[in-house]
Amino acid sequence: MSTSLMNPSEAPSTVPPPRKTRRLPGWAVGMIGVAGAVILLSTTSYLTGVPQLTSTGTIQTAVRLALPILLAGLGGLWAERAGVVNIGLEGMMIMGTWGAAWAGYQWGPWAALLSAAVFGALGGLLHAIATVTFGVNHIVSGVAINLLGAGLTKYLSTLIFFPLSNNPRESPSVPKFDTYSASGLSEWLGELEAQQRVGLSDVAGILRGLVTGVSPLTMIAVALVIGSYLVLWRTRFGLRLRSCGENPVAAESLGVNVYLYKYIGVIGSGALAGMGGAALVLNPGQPGYLEGQTNGRGFIGLAAMIFGNWRPGGLLGGAALFGYADGLQLRSGGKTFLALIYGAVLLLAVIVIWQLVRRRWFAAAGGVVAAVALYAVYYSVDEVPSELTTYAPHLVTLIVLAVASQRLRMPAADGVVYRRG
Amino acid sequence: MGILRGKLLPPALAILFSALLCGVALVVSGANPAKAFGAMVSQVGEGTTAVDIVNSTGTYYIAALAVAIGFQMNLFNIGVEGQYRVAAVVAAVFGGSFALPPGLHALAIIVVAALVGAAWAAIPAILKVTRGVNEVISTIMMNGLALGLAAYLIREDVFGELRGNNIRTPEIHESGWVPGISFGASGTVFGLVFLAAALGIGYWVMMNRTRFGFELKASGESATAAAAGGVSAKKMVLIAMLLSGGIAGLVSMPEILGRDHTYNLNFPAGIGFSGIAIALLGRNHPGGIAFGALLWAFLDKSGLALDNVGVPREIVTIMQGAIVLSVVVAYEVVRRFELAAEQRRVGKELGTVAA
Amino acid sequence: MSTSTPAATPAVVLSGITKRFPGVVANSDVHLTVRAGEVHALCGENGAGKSTLMKILYGMQQPDEGTIEVDGKAVRFRTPADAIKAGIGMVHQHFMLADNLTVQENVVLGAESLHGIGGKARKVIQGLAKSTGLTVDPGVLVERLGVADRQRVEILKVLYRGAKVIILDEPTAVLVPQEVDELFTTLRGMQEQGFTFLFISHKLDEVRAIADSVTVIRRGTTVGTADPKTVSSRQLAEMMVGSELPSPETRESTVTDRVVLSVENLGLVAEEGTRPVLDGIDLVVRSGEVVGIAGVEGNGQTELVETIMGMRKAHHGRVLLGDRDLTRLGTLARREAGIGYVPEDRHRQGLLLTQPLWANRILGYQTRTPVSKGQWLDLAGAKKDTQRIVDEFDVRTPGIDVPAAALSGGNQQKLVVGRELSGDPVLLIASHPTRGVDVGAQALIWDEIKRARAAGLAVLLISADLDELIGLSDTIKVMLRGRLVADADPSTVTPEDLGSAMTGAGATSPAVEAVPGAEVEGE
């Protein structure tokens, strides 16, 4: 829902478009992206002398913080691929946090996860009834569900948690998942990391962060990303669901029950957002449910999905980036975060060189200006105020939209109210 | 008759349905709905509640007007939330940094607030017209950034000062205050509540009697027809967004200039989202919005009485959410019904109904 | 042409079909019998109820009365899936394809259970393509395909589902004549293989070229069935219209020397690095002259009009109205300069459908009397002038306060034409002014254009209806791939000559003269 809406009169020409050149397959882009990110981080870490950038602890925190964003983003993906814009993710996530805490303190983390999914799915069901059956504008319904989700959880926690925790804004503490580590591998990587060798230790630190203290939730989330890709792009069910987001009229004419698939997409979306809420409650750093705990993460999930161009792999990248920025701030504070700005300068330098090679002088000049400005910030400031770092994902999303919105490709009928017949 | 049915029936049904829903929720949780409702109504006469409702109505009304201007052309300014926050903090810092003659000072603060709100809205507006970025996502992101910016600006080492365990901007000098109408022990109605009323009248005139209002409505009805009719979509997006942001900037002025005289950590959140709900309930009509704002304010302020009868007052938030959702559904259902009825009626009058 | 033997059981029999919508009866007591293995044409004017009937046969709508038989068995179709199961497939006029999915995905969608969605399905599609000559690469995204290829995908879709009876809804509307010929060749080949076609059209020459029998539908009911080999086009047309055909012919020339619109070397590039959509357009329209633009849809006519109106920004070139350079002005300023504009799609561009008629009178004129005074609207003036249009242009409406959506297509169009002729325009740009309107409205609109022309109005007319173009225009220009490639003299040219010029086949008659230097590079 981020592209489109150009001046309508300049909308698609009636003359068929020419063929475009073929691009690299998605997995190749992903691998290059990961490699590029690692190289960038280790270079930055080396040049700024901030080893925390790639330390195990940072990565572990990043993973924990990326999970809610990732799950919410996956929720967004399911709804929008079925053609329903879901800015109610935030409300469904809030319902998920309450559901997780309510079932979690009584029956443990697995029940918490299940209950969160059910509560989120209820929110999704409501969104589906409003948008699919009654044809209400998707944004309007999403806003209403955010209001309703917040109100419902406040009411329920006053009613149910208050007598137990003596605080209407907090649940009793919720038991967490046991975590698992690939112990041999983890120790060996730990030794490598401790040697402080350029590049190698950085890679070791990142890998160790990924294989140490892994919660089942992390594994489930990764499985859900892969599973979403397989289901949506490799099965007939997925083809039908995506066709509802691209051209529901055509789908209906071919015997696809568009309403049904939209319902499935949106309810699934709610369940995933709810699980995102559970990931917050089950984060080892949190006691349980807290009012205001989601703090806009549903929206950031949506942003991660847009960042990822409505694809699971890209969305994983977006969630990783946002989780990483969050984790770095939380773990090592504003000074370390400043190193990221240095990293951004390096990244811009690479982009400028690339634009120069492609003879795009205007883009290159823009890159130079941005790089100089960022470097000035890096040079003149001691640390980035925590008030601002919290909202780094918002800024990154705005920049991505501003720079790349023409390249993003959302489902063609996303957000369009569809009526049968 | 027909018009009344189309315009008044849906909100009435929605409120009734939501009240029923909440009543059932209350019964399930072991409370007496009649008692709860009675407590809310009688609360209006207690203490400062009536005045609080009026004041709160004014604030909600401004927020909903800001949203409604965008809605008229299908422009979703979800960013009222951020716009009024940034405007409030900047205006408070501005107003607190020096003194001007009375009246002029307050006016300057109000103008600054409107300009800052418009400037904050200008970013998504410019992104939309130059880069085609959808305003829903960009304004949501701007809301996050507004929270960050406001928190940063009131840091002690920036513009803030510590008072007790609250951080706030320096207090605005008395020359910048806007006096209210005092009702003694029943409280004081903010002077700027009248600003809200004036904005409502201005909005009605603009929408119904001016070329700009017509172009705004035409753009919302059909962007393509508006373009063919010589309405520049980009210009409309820009103006509507700036106007919406400017009005959003005024949302917290009644409170800041009438009571608080400073921006502090207790600054109310969520008025922008309530504004969206109220604009939907009032169908972008100035009268409808006034009713919606009053209802919201009543639920908010009288809801405090619920704690006295052992009902969590958050039930009113559920009621508000349920009202929005059911009112949009109700409008949609009635719209479909009326469209079919209208076609039938015209068909009958022209005698083309053969069967 | 075909060797269809009268089979014992017809492929499809519709009897007594009636379908009512709020306010209208789309079909009443329709009877249609389609023999197996024939190409059966269904003819009728726009709005005669052809599409509704086909939607009923394809299960998209349910009839209020009447029965459907397929291969002698009575059936009830609740959804298209039921129709597909019975071997009926439909190729919609507006293609039902998802641009962002591949050809293969589009074909297998909804029929995944047949051969999955992987390699096996791919083989089946390639096999079908080979046997019918509908070649297209299954792996390519549909957004990369041209119109004819998209139509092939649509036909492949119904074949993949095992359709034996194929409904083609105005399949030639979007094709150039060569593509039409290719399509007809394909259809005949498939007919040999035993497929039955229901061919919906209002182009009588095409119907006579391909059909084995033809049924005419008028005002929602079937008028009769005829053999296209024995009936003349004129007879068919009169069956469709129910009376003598109206003629758009203009009598005498009113062309003056005064140049009203001149377009100089106009160019438009949709996307950097691609072929221009408009290229070196030079055009002059004089006072009292109607200049017609002929061309197959999608050759830049829409873009030409929207660039002249300022809705698209020209890449280079100039647009002048009289002596005044409009090139840098916006749409509103161009309208104020004296251009009236009847857009090609009245629902999307001409009207605010939920607004009352008088509000629609304001649209495009919001800065001028009698509907506004400066920044303020003049509601009383707008209502009064709307009533004048309703009276003068015979807009059938219960009043000027009803929403525009409540009017029929013809009455909506009369309102639009009336509005665009009321601002004292010096130039009228009319895109498909009579598309999808009833015969009465068509005649009225033609008369109004003629009257305005006689009073000195310059008219730029774009139409897909070649008879309308030839009948109304003083000069015809042919547009192909964004360029004006030929001039034609409407007093001598035939639709066939125009058609061949429109496809780039070159001048086949002295009435069509190629524009020097406008040869189109071969592709």
Shortest Cα distance, chain A CAs vs residue B138, angstroms: 6
> Which band of pLDDT confidence, cut at 50, 70 and 90, is reported for residue B181?
confident
pLDDT of residue C201: 79
Q: pLDDT for C339-385, tens place per residue?
A: 999 998 888 888 988 888 888 899 888 888 888 888 898 888 888 88
Q: pLDDT for C314-340, tens place per residue?
A: 888 889 888 888 888 889 999 988 899
> Which band of pLDDT confidence, cut at 50, 70 and 90, is reported for residue B1?
very low
Find, in chain B, the residue whose alpha carbon is nearest to that of C372. B211
- Minimum mean pLDDT range among A31-45, A146-160, B125-139: A31-45
**Two tokens, residue C407:** 């009017």
CB neighbour list of residue A244: distance below 8 Å, 6 or more residues apart = A82, A83, A251, A256, A258, A261, A262, A265, A413, A418
Chain B neighbors of A7, CB-CB under 8 A: 227, 233-234
Q: pLDDT for B194-214, tens place per residue?
A: 999 999 999 999 998 999 999
Q: pLDDT for B286-321, tens place per residue?
A: 999 999 999 999 999 998 888 888 888 888 888 888
Q: pLDDT for C452-481, tens place per residue?
A: 888 888 999 998 777 788 888 889 998 888
pLDDT of residue B354: 37
Indicate if the pLDDT at residue A5 is higher than 80.
no
pLDDT of residue C234: 66
Across the interface, of A13, A411, A421, the residue whose CB is closest to C277 is: A13
3-state class (DSSP) for residue B75: coil
- Minimum mean pLDDT range among A17-26, B33-42, C39-48: A17-26
Indicate if the pLDDT at residue A3 is higher than 90.
no
Residue to mutate among C65, C366, C368, with most B CBs inside 10 A, is C366
Shortest Cα distance, chain A CAs vs residue B117, angstroms: 18
Shortest Cα distance, chain B CAs vs residue C132, angstroms: 41
Q: State the CB neighbour count (10 A cutoff) for residue C348.
A: 16
Residue C326 to residue B155: CA distance in whole angstroms: 55
Residue C448 to residue C430: CA distance in whole angstroms: 12
Chains touching chain B through at least 3 C-beta pairs below 8 angstroms are A, C
Yes or no, beta carbons of C61 and A251 under 8 Å apart: no
Rounded to the nearest integer, the mean pLDDT of chain B is 87
Yes or no, beta carbons of C312 and A251 under 8 Å apart: no
Across the interface, of C96, C147, C303, the residue whose CB is closest to A249 is: C96
Indicate if the pLDDT at residue A153 is higher than 70.
yes
Yes or no, beta carbons of B320 and A397 under 8 Å apart: no
Q: What is the mean pLDDT of residues A371-386?
A: 83
A145-176: burial string, b at 16+ Cβ within 10 Å, e else? bbbbbbbbbbbbbbbbbeeebeebebbbebeb
Rounded to the nearest integer, the mean pLDDT of chain C is 82
> Which band of pLDDT confidence, cut at 50, 70 and 90, is reported for residue B264?
confident
Yes or no, beta carbons of A87 and B312 under 8 Å apart: no
Indicate if the pLDDT at residue A188 is higher than 50.
yes
Highest mean pLDDT, choosing among A83-87, A308-312, B218-222, C370-374: A83-87
Concatenating the DSSP letter of every residue in A322-333 gives: HHHHHHHHHHHH
Name the residue type at position C305: V
pLDDT of residue C241: 61
Handedness of CA C271, C274, C280, C281 (dihedral sign): negative
C391-416: burial string, b at 16+ Cβ within 10 Å, e else? eebebbbeebebbbbbbbbbbbbbbb
> Which band of pLDDT confidence, cut at 50, 70 and 90, is reported for residue C505?
low
Indicate if the pLDDT at residue A22 is higher than 60.
no
- Minimum mean pLDDT range among A53-57, A167-171, A219-223: A53-57
pLDDT of residue C2: 42
Q: Please state, for a pLDDT cut of 70, what percent of chain C lies above it.
A: 89
The pTM for the full model equals 0.85
pLDDT of residue B292: 93
Name the residue type at position A236: R
Yes or no, beta carbons of C157 and A251 under 8 Å apart: no
Indicate if the pLDDT at residue A194 is higher than 70.
yes
Whether B78 contacts chain A with CB within 8 A: yes
Shortest Cα distance, chain A CAs vs residue C474, angstroms: 27
Q: pLDDT for C422-454, tens place per residue?
A: 878 899 999 988 887 777 788 888 888 988 888
> Which band of pLDDT confidence, cut at 50, 70 and 90, is reported for residue A197?
confident
Across the interface, of C18, C28, C352, the residue whose CB is closest to B218 is: C352
pLDDT of residue A421: 62
**Two tokens, residue B329:** 């559904």
Residue C249 to residue C239: CA distance in whole angstroms: 21
Yes or no, beta carbons of B344 and C362 under 8 Å apart: no
pLDDT of residue B349: 60
Handedness of CA C373, C377, C383, C386 (dihedral sign): positive
Burial class of residue B201 in the structure, from the number of CB atoms within 10 Å of its CB (0-12 exposed, 13-18 middle, 19+ buried)? exposed
What ipTM does this complex have?
A: 0.88
Q: What is the mean pLDDT of residues A108-125?
A: 95
Highest mean pLDDT, choosing among A71-80, C47-56, C80-89: A71-80
Residue B234 to residue A138: CA distance in whole angstroms: 23
Indicate if the pLDDT at residue B59 is higher than 50.
yes
**Two tokens, residue B49:** 């509640």
Q: How many residues does chain B have?
A: 355
**C289 neighbors C490 (Cβ within 8 angstroms):** no
pLDDT of residue B168: 86
pLDDT of residue B199: 93
Indicate if the pLDDT at residue C273 is higher than 60.
no
**C453 neighbors C459 (Cβ within 8 angstroms):** yes
Which residues share a beta bridge with C73?
Answer: C70
Across the interface, of C24, C311, C352, the residue whose CB is closest to B221 is: C352
Find, in chain C, the residue whose alpha carbon is nearest to that of A410. C100
Residue B154 to residue B151: CA distance in whole angstroms: 6
- Minimum mean pLDDT range among A124-133, B62-71, B268-277, C125-134: C125-134
Across the interface, of C61, C92, C100, the residue whose CB is closest to A409 is: C100
Chain C neighbors of B217, CB-CB under 8 A: 352, 355
Angle (CA) A297 A300 A306, round 5°: 150
Residue C56 to residue C27: CA distance in whole angstroms: 10
Give Cα separations from A59 to A199, A216, A321, C152, C414 (angstroms).
16, 17, 11, 52, 68
Portion 157-216 of B in contact with A at CB < 8 A? none
pLDDT of residue B346: 63
Find, in chain A, the residue whose alpha carbon is nearest to that of C482. A15
Residue to mutate among B28, B137, B274, with most A CBs inside 10 A, is B137
Yes or no, beta carbons of C366 and B229 under 8 Å apart: yes
Q: pLDDT for C160-196, tens place per residue?
A: 888 889 999 888 777 766 788 888 988 888 888 888 9
> Which band of pLDDT confidence, cut at 50, 70 and 90, is reported for residue B353?
very low
pLDDT of residue A13: 42
C-alpha B279: how far from chain center:
7
pLDDT of residue A97: 96
Find, in chain C, the residue whose alpha carbon is nearest to that of B212. C375
Q: pLDDT for B109-142, tens place per residue?
A: 999 999 999 999 999 999 999 888 888 889 999 9
Highest mean pLDDT, choosing among A110-124, A272-286, C47-61, C316-330: A110-124
pLDDT of residue A7: 35
**C348 neighbors A11 (Cβ within 8 angstroms):** no
Across the interface, of A17, A239, A254, the residue whose CB is closest to C143 is: A17
pLDDT of residue C251: 61
Yes or no, beta carbons of B276 and A143 under 8 Å apart: yes
Chain B neighbors of A393, CB-CB under 8 A: 144
> Which band of pLDDT confidence, cut at 50, 70 and 90, is reported for residue C4?
very low
Chain A neighbors of C311, CB-CB under 8 A: 9-10
* CA distance from start to end of chain A: 25
Q: What is the mean pLDDT of residues B341-351?
A: 64
Shortest Cα distance, chain B CAs vs residue A294, angstroms: 13
Counting Cα atoms < 13 Å in the Cβ hemisphere of B345 gives 13
**A116 neighbors A281 (Cβ within 8 angstroms):** yes
Yes or no, beta carbons of B136 and A87 under 8 Å apart: yes
Identify the residue with better confidence: C52 or C286: C286
Residue C522 to residue C85: CA distance in whole angstroms: 44
pLDDT of residue C8: 60
Find, in chain C, the residue whose alpha carbon is nearest to that of A256. C110
Counting Cα atoms < 13 Å in the Cβ hemisphere of B7 gives 12
Yes or no, beta carbons of C106 and A251 under 8 Å apart: no
pLDDT of residue C82: 86
Residue C443 to residue C439: CA distance in whole angstroms: 6
Q: What is the mean pLDDT of residues B142-150?
A: 91
Q: What is the mean pLDDT of residues C58-74?
A: 88
Q: What is the mean pLDDT of residues C124-128?
A: 87
pLDDT of residue A25: 72
Across the interface, of A15, A239, A251, the residue whose CB is closest to C270 is: A15
Yes or no, beta carbons of C23 and B344 under 8 Å apart: yes
Find, in chain B, the residue whose alpha carbon is nearest to that of C407. B346
**Two tokens, residue C435:** 């598309």
Find, in chain A, the residue whose alpha carbon is nearest to that of B307. A158
pLDDT of residue B125: 94
Which residues share a beta bridge with C342?
Answer: C430
Residue C291 to residue C427: CA distance in whole angstroms: 11
Q: What H or E segment, with its residue span, contains residue C263?
A: strand C259-268
Chain C neighbors of B339, CB-CB under 8 A: 405
Find, in chain B, the residue whose alpha carbon is nearest to that of C29. B355
Q: How many CB pairs under 8 A join A and C?
A: 103
CB neighbour list of residue B142: distance below 8 Å, 6 or more residues apart = A394, A398, B79, B82, B83, B120, B123, B124
Q: pLDDT for C210-260, tens place per residue?
A: 888 888 887 788 888 888 788 776 677 677 666 554 555 556 777 788 888
Rounded to the nearest integer, the mean pLDDT of chain A is 85
Handedness of CA C138, C140, C146, C147 (dihedral sign): positive
Which residues share a beta bridge with C486?
Answer: C478, C514
